[in-house]
Amino acid sequence: MSDLTDRLAQGLPHGGLVVDPDVMAAYSHDMAGFCTAGTPAVVAFPETVEQVQHILRTATDLRVPVVPQGARTGLSGAANAVDGCIVLSMVKMNRILELDPVNRIAVVEPGVVNAELSRAAAGLGLSYPPDPSSWESCTIGGNIGTGAGGLCCVKYGVTSEYVLGLDVVLADGRLLSTGRRTAKGVAGYDLTRLLVGSEGTLGVVVRAVVALRPAPAPQLALAAEFPSADAAGAAVCEVMARGLTPSLMELMDAVTVRAVNELGQMGLPESTQALLLVAFDGPDPAGELAAVGEICRAAGATEVVPAEDQAESELLLEARRLALPALDRLGTTMIDDVAVPRSRLAEMLAGVAEIAERHALTIGVVSHAGDGNTHPIVIFDADDPEESARAQRSFDEIMALGLELGGTITGEHGVGLLKREWLARELGPVALELQRQLKAVFDPLGILNPGKAV
C-alpha cells in the first residue's frame, strides 16, 4: 500500500490521491443494485493525460487493478471497485478543449458533463444529441464507456454514432489515438467503435472528438392514452411503418402511469393501461402530430391530446420525467435495460406483467418505444431477503424474455457486473472467445476493470 501510494504521489498534484476510507467508500460503486463492490487501495484524480499515463504505468509495474470512473451514474456495476484497486476518477479532466462550428465537432476531456457540452454547443447553434436521463450529471467519458443512449435515440441515435476519434491510455501507459476529425474516414480497423461501450476494460479515454449537429427546432408533443399495451404497441409499429420520424417516442405501462398519477396529480384516468408520448422537431411538427393522432385513434386510443405549443409540450412530457421518481417512491428499485425489436414491444410488456404476477412483485416499465428499448423497473423491499431473491429472479427472467423475443440484454446501460453472466448467452461461445482475445491484446495483464463485461 505504501509503495503504491508513494509511487502514485510522485506524478500527481497535491490532493490527487485519496486514501480516507469514508471517502473511498463513496467511490467504490455506481448506482446499480445487486452488484458487489470491493474496497479500493486508493482513489486517484488525474488532471492531465500525462498523469493518467503515470497511474497506468505504476499499476502495470505493481500489477494493481485499475477501475476507471466517471460520475458513477451507471446502472450496471461497471464502475464498481475491486479489492485493492486504484479507482481512477476522471472527473477533474473536465475541459471542453475545442468547439468547431465549421467541421461540427467538439474536442472534450472525459470528465465533461453531458449537459455542459450540450449547452456550450447550443451557444453556436449546434447540439450534441445523445441525452441520457442523467445528462445533467453524467460525463462524456462515462457515456463513451457504456455506449449510452437517451430519449432522442429514435431519431438521432446513440453515443457510438457521435464519437469520431479517441485518445486512450492503454494499460501499460502508452497513448493510443484512434479515429479522425473528418466527416468521413475508413482507414484501418475501426478501433474507435471497438472502444465505445468497452466499459474501461480496454483502455482509459482521456480525450474525445465528437460530432455535433445543427440545433433542432423546439419539439411539439402528443400524449395518447390506451386501454391496453397491445393497442399502444400497435400504434408504435404503425408510426414507424408509415415512415414518420419522431424525435421522441416513449411508452409507459399501467404501473408507471398510476405511480406518476399519484406523484404528479396528472389526472390520467385509472383505466389507462398505457401512455404513449410522441414528439416531433421537424419543419411541420403539427402535421406530423396530426398523423400520429389518427394512427393512435385507429389503434384504439381512448384519448389523444396534442400540444399547441412548446409550453404545452413540456407539460405533457412531464409525465415521462416523473416516471422514475414516481416508481422510486414505492420501494427499492432495480432498473433493467432490455431492447427488443419494435414489433415485439407489446409482447415484452405483456411478458413483464406476467413475471411480476408470478413473483408477486410490482414492476413498472418505461420504454424508449421508438427503438424498442425497455426499462422494466423491479420494486422490492431490500430489507426482506425473500422478496429480494424474488426480485433477482424476476430480473433474470426479464432478460431471458428479451432474448426470446429477439432482443438484447442491454440497449444502453452496458454489461458491467450486473449482466456479465448473461452476456455469454447472448453472444455465444465463438463471439465471447474473440472478445476475450481482444481484451488480452489491449490488456495482457488483465488489470483494467477486471471482472466486468467479458
CB 348 within 8 A of CB 405: yes
For 89-102, what is each residue's pLDDT tens digit?
A: 999 999 999 999 99
- Mean local confidence (pLDDT), 217-227: 96
AA identity, residue 454: V
Taking domain 96-214, whether its CATH number is 2.60.40.10 is answered by: no
Strand, helix or coil for residue 109:
coil
- Mean local confidence (pLDDT), 289-307: 97
Under CATH, to which class is 220-404 assigned?
Answer: alpha beta
Can you tell me the distance from the alpha carbon of 93 to that of 207, in angstroms, rounded to the nearest whole number? 9
pLDDT at site 1: 58
CB 178 within 8 A of CB 221: no
How many degrees, rounded to 5, is the angle at CA 35 between CA 33 and CA 38?
130
Can you tell me the distance from the alpha carbon of 99 to that of 256, in angstroms, rounded to the nearest whole number? 40
- Mean local confidence (pLDDT), 243-266: 94
CB-facing half-sphere around the CA of 240: CA atoms within 13 A:
17
Can you tell me the distance from the alpha carbon of 60 to that of 171, in angstroms, rounded to the nearest whole number? 7
Where are the domains positioned within the chain? 3-89, 96-214, 220-404
Can you tell me the distance from the alpha carbon of 235 to that of 170, in angstroms, rounded to the nearest whole number? 47
Place 67 in a pLDDT band, splitting at 50, 70 and 90: very high
- Mean local confidence (pLDDT), 324-349: 95
How many degrees, rounded to 5, is the angle at CA 224 between CA 221 and CA 225?
150
pLDDT at site 356: 98
- 408 compared with 269, residue with greater pLDDT: 408
pLDDT at site 270: 83
Characterize the bridge pairing of strands 248-253 and 362-368: antiparallel
Place 337 in a pLDDT band, splitting at 50, 70 and 90: very high
Mean pLDDT (the chain) is 96
For 346-387, what is each residue's pLDDT tens digit?
A: 999 999 999 999 999 999 999 999 999 999 999 999 999 999
pLDDT at site 71: 97
pLDDT at site 225: 97
Residue 266 pLDDT more than 90? Answer: no
The H helix count followed by the E strand count for the chain is 16, 19
How many degrees, rounded to 5, is the angle at CA 376 between CA 350 and CA 356?
55
Can you tell me the distance from the alpha carbon of 200 to that of 452, in angstroms, rounded to the nearest whole number? 9
Q: Give the distance from CA 213 to its chain's centroid.
A: 20
Which grid cell sits at 194? 471497438
Can you tell me the distance from the alpha carbon of 147 to that of 138, in angstroms, rounded to the nearest whole number? 12
Q: In what order do the strands lie in the sheet with 42-44?
A: 17-18, 42-44, 86-89, 66-69
3-state helix, strand and coil shares in percent for the chain, rounded to the nearest 5: 40, 20, 40
Which grid cell sits at 304? 389523444
| CATH topology classification for 3-89 | 3.30.43
- Mean local confidence (pLDDT), 102-108: 98
Can you tell me the distance from the alpha carbon of 131 to that of 317, in angstroms, rounded to the nearest whole number? 15
CB 237 within 8 A of CB 147: no
Cβ-proximal residues to 241 (8 Å cutoff; 6+ apart), any chain: none
Q: CATH topology of 3-89 equal to that of 96-214? A: no
- Mean local confidence (pLDDT), 172-197: 96
Number of Cβ within a 10 Å radius of residue 238? 16
- Mean local confidence (pLDDT), 189-194: 97
pLDDT at site 432: 96
Question: Phi/psi at 21 (nearest 5 deg)?
Answer: -60, -40
pLDDT at site 272: 94
Interhelix angle 229-241/345-358, nearest 10 degrees: 160
Which grid cell sits at 38? 470491493
Which grid cell sits at 440? 488480452
